[in-house]
A and B are shown apart, each in its own frame.
Chain A
Amino acid sequence: MRKLTALCLSLSCATPLAADPLHEALRRAVNDHTIPAVKTFDAEAAALADVAAQNCLPEAVKPAYHAAFDAWMGLQHLHMGPVEANGRILAIAFWPDKKGMTPRTLASYIADEDPIIEDPAEFATASIAVRGLFALEYMLYDAQFDGYEDGSYACHLVQAIAHDLGRMAHEIDQEWTMPDGFADTLLKAGDAAQPLYLSETESVQALYTMLTSSLENTKLQRIGRPIGTFERPRPTRAEARRSERSARNVMLQLEAARDLARKLAPGEMPLAEAAFAKTIALTEELDDPAFEGAEDPMGRLKIEIIGQNIDTILGHLANEVGAPLGVSAGFNASDGD
């Protein structure tokens, strides 16, 4: 770790003033955005685990699956700290699955009745293809898997997946909010017990990177994959299409990004607000939950336009949030996709 002396040359290392906009942005983003996000996901994933333990059958588990997925959409853009640690983000949401590993691996576990599901600590080391929300989606919604009976191996597998999600969500919450946890790592920056970000500027830059890269991912992946090209649209590549969450995930991601942007923005962000409102409205009006409309040129165009509006949002965020804070996006985990 670098010596703090080198950092204290920067303004952000000076004693924070009450009116320091960067300092205030950091406090708002961490306390009013990230902490509620990890708490909500913890609560909903715990509820999912409880429901599945009571009754593993698809119709019983589905509402809790949706609630947990909704909560995840409020957190998944924070690809940092405890969300990233131990590969949790991949274990919670392994998508896109370009090689169809999820159904293949689930089928092989079920055929072999792999005993790994009996011990939660062991299951935590299982392939991410049989863990998390997307494995659960296959179990609950795909005709190849959803006909299982109470007490069967598949039933116990569903319970194991739900329990494992609850475990990870709780670990994220604890590691984020405990004293000297990740919230403090962000807030205290160079003064943290184990500094990761050396100044408040670096903490804010990290959060700003999450904001912009999550929107870019929504455009490139959630929208870009199903629309493919004009000649070759790919509706079966839509995210969570089996549970008809493709459009909902886009909308919830936009809402999560908007909330983070509002917390980070040092002042008003009228153009970004308008762009968010328009893009969210377009998504709501789509009436195409699984992006099946991507197959047809008009339907595809409507989805494509949502992506174009995300570009507009990004431009306004740079001007209304990034520039006034003096930060810009850094490297993100999607470089290389």
Chain B
Amino acid sequence: MKRMMTAVIAATLPAAAFAGEAEVVTTYADIAHAGYEDSLIKAKELDAAIEAFVAAPSEATLAAAKTAWIESRVPYQQTEVYRFGNAIVDDWEGKVNAWPLDEGLIDYVDGSYGGATDENPLAALNVIANPTFELSGETVDASEITPELLADTLHEADEVEANVATGYHAIEFLLWGQDLHGTEHGAGERPYTDYLTGDDCTGGNCERRAEYLLAATDLLVSDLEWITEQWAEGGAARAAVVDDPAAGITAMLTGMGSLSYGEQAGERMKLGLMLNDPEEEHDCFSDNTHNSHFYDGMGVHNVYFGKYTRVDGTQVKGESLADLLAEKDADLAAELGSALDKSVAELAEIKAAAEAGFSYDQMLARGNEAGEELIMSAVDALVAQTREIERAVSVLTEADIEVEGSDSLDNPDAVFE
């Protein structure tokens, strides 16, 4: 999994004061606030659906909870572009969107999953089945599964990033279960009976499973409340960009470029394709990966064009990076805009094929040329847009761009104690 790196653009020269810079970063902060607030709204709906499901498990209530989860991903994925470049977001996001995960940490898994690995001794811990367990030589009391247990003890336990105990993907696993279809069509098929009490319970420990699911969803809501506040008037994340518009512009470009290239095109799309590994799907339990990729691309598009469509259909818009760049270099502004349009169109092709029944895991199958073509076309478009973003950096920042990992910059202890 990845606790992702932030790219940081260190301005070594004072940036020229552009007309409109302040308005542009205000639009950026407004979109961030709206995106996180929408994520919070949808997470509360998810929480309500999960409470209803756990109170009365059935095919229908499970389906409603899954629908709420899928919807909750739409606004959240559009905020991923804020991760890189904004230290406050990057330091926080591992709690809500860490991926990939060793799901055996959380619950039962199929025999083919294997056990503890060189990388992760806790890969098959199964906390739902184990009220106590050993962690780094100490006994942990997990008799009650609370948000605190998940966040403070289990998440990234033993300093292993694949120990993802919280966030969207932990909830996804608890709703869908493992996807055992490999590169065939089909998502996880966890039965609703995994949450029934008494003799009807399947998978064992149903009450603890429900406790876990509720705790994880509560945490998601509270974590999203926190980040929404950071982007509200007076919040620290907003202040970091609006108080220093030049830094805000570099944060915008850094987020766009780092998400496009290293993260989305490379780690999430190309690597999974080349491994032919459906577990490398971003939303691997639910087979929602086509959407998570598409909305990541939309998020980059939103930031550049200064426009975001909220979950209630209203729009947040204002003076944009595109406007600012057009003042300095109209040709480049148009080229970057077309490059972003192209990426969104390529990602939409993946989404369209997936929604028509050719799921993302099928695209990853060895020798599936149509799938490879779809994915690589999107990868190529994302790489191409990154070059245009680099050009925009040199026009708009008149500064050194230095891209480094957040693990070294924000948390030196992660690398060097």
Contact = CB atoms under 8 A, between A and B. Distances in A.
A307 B415 contact: yes
B413 A229 contact: yes
B262 A91 contact: no
Nearest to A126: B366
Interface in A18-32: none
Contacts of A104: 114
Nearest to B329: A6
B119 A322 contact: no
Contact of B119 (A1, A98, A116, A332): A98
A122 B366 CA distance: 10
- Nearest 8 A-B pairs (CB), nearest first? A336-B263, A335-B262, A230-B417, A328-B400, A336-B262, A335-B258, A331-B257, A6-B331
B401 A328 contact: yes
B267 A336 contact: yes
B415 A219 contact: yes
B117 A128 contact: no
Interface string A312-333: 0000001000100000111111
Interface of A: 1-3, 6, 87, 90-91, 94, 98-101, 104, 116, 122, 125-129, 196, 198, 202, 205, 212-213, 216, 219-220, 224, 227-232, 236-237, 304, 307-308, 318, 322, 328-337
Interface of B: 1-2, 4-5, 7, 84, 100, 102, 114, 117-119, 136, 158-159, 161-162, 257-264, 266-267, 270-271, 273-277, 279, 329, 331-332, 335, 366-367, 386-387, 389-391, 393, 399-405, 407-408, 413-417
Contacts of B408: 216, 219-220
16 contacts: A2-B335, A90-B271, A99-B100, A99-B119, A202-B391, A212-B402, A219-B408, A232-B159, A328-B399, A331-B257, A331-B260, A331-B261, A331-B386, A331-B403, A335-B84, A335-B263
A99 B162 contact: yes
A202 B274 CA distance: 29
A337 B267 contact: yes
A333 to B, nearest CB: 5
Contacts of B257: 330-331, 335
A331 B257 CA distance: 7
B118 A307 contact: no
Contact of B270 (A87, A101, A230): A87
Given A90-B270, A335-B257, A220 B389 contact: no
A101 B275 CA distance: 8
A224 B274 contact: no
B416 A307 contact: yes
- Quick one: which of A2, A99, A128, A332 has the most chain B CB within 10 A? A99
Contacts, number: 151
A337 B279 contact: no
B367 A125 contact: yes
Given A100-B119, A127-B366, A228-B159, A6 B332 contact: yes
Nearest to B7: A335
A180 B267 CA distance: 30
A125 B366 contact: yes
Contacts of A307: 415-416
B241 to A, nearest CB: 19
- Quick one: which of A1, A2, A94, A126 has the most chain B CB within 10 A? A2
Given A336-B4, A336-B267, A216 B405 contact: yes
Given A336-B266, A337-B4, A127 B274 contact: yes
B262 A328 contact: no
Given A128-B274, A229-B414, A100 B117 contact: yes
Given A125-B366, A219-B408, A229-B413, A337 B274 contact: no
A303 B304 CA distance: 42
Given A336-B5, A337-B262, A129 B119 contact: no
A84 to B, nearest CB: 8
A101 B414 contact: no
Contact of B401 (A228, A229, A330): A330
Nearest to A9: B329
B381 to A, nearest CB: 14
B416 A308 contact: yes
B258 A331 contact: yes
Given A6-B331, A99-B162, A87 B274 contact: yes
B82 to A, nearest CB: 14
B331 A2 contact: yes
B309 to A, nearest CB: 26
B91 to A, nearest CB: 15
Contacts of A329: 400-403
Nearest to B119: A98
B277 A322 contact: no
A231 B417 CA distance: 9
B118 A100 contact: yes
Given A125-B366, A126-B366, A335 B416 contact: no
A43 B401 CA distance: 37
Contacts of A125: 366-367
Nearest to B162: A98
B261 A335 contact: yes
B259 A336 contact: yes
B414 A333 contact: no
Nearest to B399: A328
Contacts of A212: 402
B394 to A, nearest CB: 8
